[in-house]
Structure 1
């Protein structure tokens, strides 16, 4: 009986450029094969589990309703027959919780992020005009006595909800320069980028514009002069604007969004030369059970012209961004138990967050927005989860 899997690991550890070239030639590489290109920090002497095998089992476990490395290890023991069928007989079949806890902190999160980002872009299902949202999240469970909780910035498509890229934001900086530096690595041309008020910066708008994209940005008090100008304009009873509204009822809440959009401020806001439209968005939420109502007013700026973005489209773009921001945090925390994870060593918390994002992306790619229900389904039919991860010839066994 062999130490190694029955699958052929023909891909050596690759540089980012080499992997990029490989994906150009073979865009249908499986995730298992992509994992095989990631450098393994362990000595080859006495190696029991290949890195690609360990990572494939981890992602499969996440898809099958496991929230921790301990749960994944237990799940692997329960799926011995399936693992033998897919990977062939081997002496060491079930990676343990201790293996994951020792291995993950030794891996390079950036190398994993780059490998997955390359694969995601080459297999992207999003349409060419699917907007992209910037979404920052702090992994609270990753906090330790020596290190603060890692803050991760991700880029995710609105409609297909595929995570294109995720990076850690160093304690010595913030999301603003990181986002601007990463834009050339993303499919910007022809897309609209949405972001919260932190990224309402002239340089960010210019960077996106130079790459052929557009932005819809929120204005709050971090831009006090711009915020005051927009507040004053929309408070004027003689202000000229187009308007629209939407009404949603879900989870015991009635949510109304009303937008007023104007092109009259463009020449006045000369120090923001790309602005073509400004808007005031009012969000009113009523809780049916208590009757309590809350109001929120935010302002928007965009280089999209009135012909490119009607009030209705601007409402949809903002709603898409808020949906991504809220659902991403909720799913990773509540459905995957991210903040309950206590694996803090090295970059393990970031790596686990990366694989949670990957699992969510894979579920959305099969057309489901019900993450928890789909994970329960995979838990009952684990062979279906492996179809996302293995070469087609193996996954269909």
Structure 2
């Protein structure tokens, strides 16, 4: 008579909900980099298993393969691993099988599938413009003796879901990757926020042609534009937004002024902005004042000063909600993975896990990973593989 554990292992998998969004549907559109000979496991099944393991807190290739090896039979069936017709047993891939596949992936197709899945899974946006932040991150642990570290450029909506990601070419910077990054995103009705590096005329023209607005930071890399915006009579312009907060042992005052501009040397620029932040550390008593100048294609009166201030401040959510979490929770910079496109593939899986947990209402990603790790149903349900 089989033991209780054996009975549990042989239990049938929970059936996916008929109307649930399933990650496998998006992974099945990817081209398989493997040869036809000896291909036993579906590409979508292997990638879904890797995604589920990262959703449960796996931080490395070893942790991913261990999670797949230890998964119960019903979970392996739900993932799409083959079942022997005679014995009913499920075939589980060898760890090297999964490793070889992840190394062979090109990086572009997984990121597109992940971005499309997160976008389709997201709660329908409220009426109005959608804010998307663009920023880069260096994977410091990917450095080798002959190559510099891998740098990735990501586009994330201000709620915390990564919509697209691409790798910066060697010996290049983020500027040439800006347009390819956004090519696969529907930008209609969006506002793109980025740092001063991306305040480029070609970027502004591209965004307006795609039906998107922008808020572009202006610094000394555009001396003429910066000097013209900075020298506006800001002292005579009335406030559009004022905010005073106290948290994390500091006081902050944020002020925003806007000025319509008839002729700005930037594509479709309609307003100039000045954001000023006073910050006082209550422990040391140190006071810092920061002034930032921006331009935007939004016409005067299109949105309130409060909304503009929220977008300016919200741009840095890509650091706090994404990059910081990948570093501190997933220990990304400590990872020594550097083979091929594998650093980017692992970053994409982390983006997927962070995005899903945030969409499900979790604000503490470390706690969400521990919650998912305690029950195999949870990561599979989140991916639409089980009900």
Q: TM-score, normalised by structure 1?
A: 0.83
1:247 matched to 2:244: yes
**Residues 276-324 of structure 1, C-alpha deviations (whole Å, 9 max, x = no match):** 2111112233333333333221101112122113221111111111122
**SS in structure 1 opposite 2:152?**
strand
Q: Which residue of 1 aligns with 2:7?
A: none
Alpha-carbon displacement from aligned partner over 1:331-355 (angstroms, at most 9, x marks no partner): 1111111111111101000011111
SS of the residue corresponding to residue 279 of structure 1 reads: strand
Q: Is the 8 A contact 1:190 1:214 kept in 2?
A: yes
Q: Distance in 2 between matches of 1:31 and 1:317?
A: 30
Q: Which moved more, 1:133-142 or 1:46-55?
A: 46-55
Distance 1:32 1:181 in 2: 25
Counterpart CA distance in 2 for 1:371 and 1:344 is 25
Please say if residues 52 and 380 of structure 2, whose CA atoms lie closer than 8 Å, have aligned partners that are also in contact.
yes
Partner of 1:198: 197
Q: 1:287 to 1:102 in 2, by over 3 A?
A: farther
Contact 1:132 1:192 in 2 (8 A): yes
TM-score normalised by length of structure 2: 0.85
C-alpha separation in 2, matches of 1:262 and 1:84: 59
Conservation of the 8 A alpha-carbon contact between 1:54 and 1:95? no
Separation in structure 1 between the aligned mates of residue 138 and residue 68 of structure 2, nearest angstrom: 30
In 2, the alpha carbon distance for the partners of 1:301 and 1:27 equals 43
Instruction: Report Cα offsets for 1:174-212 as digits up to 9, x if no partner.
Output: 322321344442221111111111111222222212222
TM-superposed deviation, 1:134: 0.8
Instruction: Kindly report the root-mean-square deviation, in angstroms, between the aligned alpha carbons of the 2 structures.
Output: 2.6
SS of aligned partner of 2:241: strand
Q: Does the CA contact (< 8 Å) of 2:219 and 2:293 recur in 1?
A: yes
CA separation in 2, counterparts of 1:67 and 1:182?
Answer: 25
Equivalent residue, structure 2, for 1:212: 211
Aligned length: 363
Task: Tell me the residue number matched to 1:299.
Answer: 293
Unpaired runs of 5+ in structure 2? 1-11
Displacement of 1:95: 4.6
Question: Structure 1 stretches of 5 or more lacking a match?
Answer: 1-5, 8-25
- 2:165 corresponds to which residue? 166
CA distance in 2, matches of 1:113, 1:84: 24
Change (3 A) 1:66 1:124: same
Match of 2:153 in 1: 153
3-state DSSP of counterpart to 1:185: coil
Asked if 2 retains the 8 angstrom alpha-carbon contact of 1:76 and 1:95, the reply is: no
